[in-house]
A and B are shown apart, each in its own frame.
Chain A
Amino acid sequence: MHAAASGVLLGLNPLWLATVVMIVTYGVIISERLNRSIIALLGAMLMIMFGLLTQEEAVAGVDFNTIGLLVGMMVIVSITRKSGVFEYLAIWSAKLVKANPAGILAMLAVVTAVVSALLDNVTTVLLVVPVTLVITEALKVSPYPFLFSQILASNIGGTATLIGDPPNILIGGQVGLSFNDFLIHLSPVIVVILIVHVISIHLIWGRSMASTAELRARVMAFEESEAITDSRLLKLASLVLALVIVAFVMARPLGLESGTIGMAGAALLLMLDNLGKSAEHQSASVVKVYNEIEWITIFFFVGLFIVIAGVEHAGLLRLLADKLLAATGGDFNVTGFSILWTSAVLSAIVDNIPFVATMIPLIKSLGPAFGGADALTPLWWCLSLGACLGGNGTLIGASANLTVAGIAERNGIPFRFMEYTRIAFPLMLIHLAICNLYVWWRYF
């Protein structure tokens, strides 16, 4: 401890110095003037160079559960998606409803939500949106409602599980909540919200959609089995994905942490995919998979963890926690509802990852005031629901939103900020109101 106190640059007050580094870092992240992974790393290195953290303390602040799970899942997804299984699923679901546009609108929302619960949201929309554009073009219907609905569905579905959305990976990793905890506590309310979402989209757009029998026949002629490019890979990937899910469900009895499970799944699938290939072929295929890891996200997380370790070490978070307690009068319910709504509104406007990463140690330090770490559990669900679902509020609220808008614009489909927000923000408020009722009924 004395190293942090005595080694601080020019003998400055560590609390103030750490706060300034954090505010400048977050300010630049919000301004988007510099790639977020660069500024997070710069902020992290300043924390060390200013003597606010030693290198060991900084490394200890990087949560391996989060990083391991993210990298592991990215590897598994980048191998699995080569098999074409997700395109298969989207086409199959469209044919299931006889290529009726309103039916497809609902089915693709459900498919997006389910896939998104198991994969990262951006990956999910990258897989579903191109197929959607092919289908809507064949049916000669506007793709906008479909894309709009898939944005919301991907963020809704992602909220249901530990691995569905980065805020949940963060909360799960740092607080030690299991895959089952997320499933038991979040999926019931997410199912309700998904149903409400599908009904709202149907009322807004679906019921007035029409297509001719001839055009529908074109979609019915799609041969989903042609989307599967590699059935051997599909079997291997399904096996590994199933093993990973089983390991998550059994994590407690097996004594495994989520980072280990993600990395083990990645290693296993890499091995199965490369077994029997020549050495050159192996390195080419492994390099390709590693290149698809989203390094921006990983370096962003690493940097952010260190910045937060810096302010935590300097005592800022304890100070903020005291202020939060004073503001809510130490009332548990008020604290929970405040976390839910504040996270939602903030996540609609700014990146939810830095917010959640800062809130986690903050909420942890409320433990003593509310009777121990276990008593805090409902607050984690408030944070997760608010941060994940809040991202639906505006076009810049989550990365999946911007990904879809980017693809749409390139295909000549205007995707405007205000037009999106005008419908999405009220829907987000309805979803949050449902969450509010749910946590009040179940926990308070």
Chain B
Amino acid sequence: MSNPPAVLKPTDSVSIAIQAMVREHLSALPVVDVDGRYIGMLPRSRLIALAMPRVLSRDTDQQPLARLLQVGFIRDSLADLQERMAAAADDPVSRHLDQEVPVLSPDTPLMNAMLFLYRQRTVLPVVENGKLLGIVSVWDVLARVGRVK
């Protein structure tokens, strides 16, 4: 476990989140209220989704809607993506949290955390009694497992 490099407040805007994520090269940010209580995670995928047509970003494993759709026909330019992102820039991050991010506790078995990381999660929150204790990231784990000094 490590300390998160950055933490968001629920009222922070999407544009603040993007800046933090780009600056620190992060793939997900934990959101925590003023008392340090864990609210949720904002992964990069939710931010990328804000620049795409809505129907594509609503794709889930249970309802693989957009997977039916080949999206190459959409000829949106960078300006179009910027316009979509700008429309959501002032939204509070609390509106775009990913509720499906698994939450670890201090006594979660190591193998469970490994399985989540294997399944394409890169940052997992560690929460005890509602408070965010820290994060487990794929880089922490690879460094320890691979004995990277």
Contacts and interface: CB of A to CB of B under 8 A. Distances in A.
Contact of B54 (A87, A91, A221, A412): A412
B72 A226 contact: yes
Interface in B67-117: 68-70, 72-76, 80
Interface stretch (A128-136, A240-248, A268-276, A391-399): A128-136
A57 interface: no
A224 B74 CA distance: 9
A16 to B, nearest CB: 43
Given A133-B53, A134-B55, A222 B74 contact: yes
Secondary structure dominating the interface of A: helix
A218 B84 CA distance: 14
Nearest to A127: B68
Contacts of B54: 133, 137, 411-412
B68 A410 contact: no
Contacts of A133: 53-55
Contact of A221 (B53, B66, B68, B75): B75
Given A218-B80, A222-B74, A222-B75, A134 B58 contact: no
Contact of A137 (B53, B69, B70, B75): B53
B120 interface: no
Contacts of B68: 81, 126-127, 130
Contacts of B16: none
B38 to A, nearest CB: 26
Contacts, number: 58
A218 B76 CA distance: 8
Contacts of B65: 126, 130, 407, 410
B73 A87 contact: yes
Interface in A66-91: 81, 84, 87, 91
A227 interface: yes
A223 interface: yes
B74 A134 contact: yes
A130 B69 contact: yes
A87 B69 contact: yes
A87 B70 contact: yes
Interface in A111-148: 126-127, 130-131, 133-134, 137-138
Interface in A197-254: 218, 221-229
A411 B58 contact: yes
Range for the number of chain A residues in contact with chain B: 20 to 34
Most buried by B among A225, A226, A406, A412: A226
B70 A84 contact: yes
Interface in B19-73: 53-56, 58, 63, 65-66, 68-70, 72-73
A87 B56 CA distance: 14
A399 B54 CA distance: 24
Contacts of A225: 73
B55 to A, nearest CB: 4
A223 B68 CA distance: 17
Contacts of A222: 73-75
Interface in A308-360: none
Most buried by A among B53, B66, B80: B53
Given A218-B80, A407-B65, A410-B63, A227 B72 contact: yes
Contacts of A406: 63
Interface of A: 81, 84, 87, 91, 126-127, 130-131, 133-134, 137-138, 218, 221-229, 406-407, 410-412
12 contacts: A84-B70, A130-B55, A130-B66, A130-B69, A133-B53, A133-B54, A222-B75, A223-B72, A223-B75, A407-B63, A407-B65, A410-B65
- Top 4 A-B pairs, shortest CB-CB distance: A226-B72, A133-B55, A226-B73, A221-B75
Interface of B: 53-56, 58, 63, 65-66, 68-70, 72-76, 80
Given A126-B65, A224-B73, 5 more contacts: A130-B66, A134-B69, A138-B74, A223-B75, A407-B63
